[in-house]
Amino acid sequence: HGATVWRVPDEFLALVDAEEGWRPYLLNFRYTVLDLGQIDDRQLSRQPNLRAWLLAAKYATRDGQQIQVKELLVEALVGVSYEDFRFLMRYVVETYRSYDERMVREIIRRVRPEEEMTMMSLFAQEMITKGKQEGRQEGRQEGRQEGRQEGEAALLLRLLQRRFGTVPTWANGKIANADLPTLEAWSLRFVDAQSLDEVFAVRM
């Protein structure tokens, strides 16, 4: 299910690095290679759970198409069991680089709204880790990140801007002067916060 057409062998011996003289004595068999990219999204499977898994897998490496396939993914997720839904959403959180926290929350809300808070809490650490990785990658590319603390601060600021819009001066000041543990605590609060005040509230 890669982003390009598969060109892989369909027999075992093609994968074995052996001297030519040994090849007649080695076990060989053929197997079926299924390229999901060549199958229409609505024809992947008639079985709801399997169709949802195949659809999610098909676009896991196709970053440029993940946003467009969101509606189809939501439609497929409606028909899956609760356990499959949880595992599928974890898979999406870990592999769909185009899906931010807001989009993941929207999908959960549309498919199983009663599970929104529980599942977002379960995925909090994965999403923060994913954000850190993306933040570090952007930092390396742009030459702006200098150390873990600066990366954490930059990530938190981007998340706040994405959800709440322009970040006020007082919040920028708090982020600029905070130590690493405080920044990490604010990042965790961000997952469920409905306002800037909830992110920076002093906890007793």
Beta-carbon contacts of 73 under 8 Å, excluding residues fewer than 6 positions away, are 52, 55, 56, 59, 92, 107
Q: pLDDT value at position 52?
A: 94
pTM: 0.55
Position 144 confidence tier, pLDDT thresholds 50, 70, 90: very low
Q: What is the pLDDT of residues 38-77, one digit of tens each?
A: 889 989 999 999 999 999 999 988 888 999 999 999 999 9
Between 13-17, 92-96, 122-126, 153-157, the lowest mean confidence (pLDDT) is in: 122-126
Q: Is the pLDDT of residue 155 over 70?
A: yes
Beta-carbon contacts of 126 under 8 Å, excluding residues fewer than 6 positions away, are 90, 93, 94
Q: pLDDT value at position 189?
A: 86
The top-scoring range by mean pLDDT among 47-56, 151-160, 162-171 is 47-56
- Pick 131 or 112 by higher pLDDT: 112
Position 37 confidence tier, pLDDT thresholds 50, 70, 90: confident
For 68-85, give one letter per residue: b (16+ CB within 10 A) or e. ebbeebebbbeebeeebb
Q: Is the pLDDT of residue 191 over 90?
A: no
Q: What is the pLDDT of residues 73-110, one digit of tens each?
A: 999 999 899 899 999 998 998 888 888 888 888 999 99
Calculate helix-pair angle for 116-142, 82-95, nearest 10 degrees.
Answer: 10
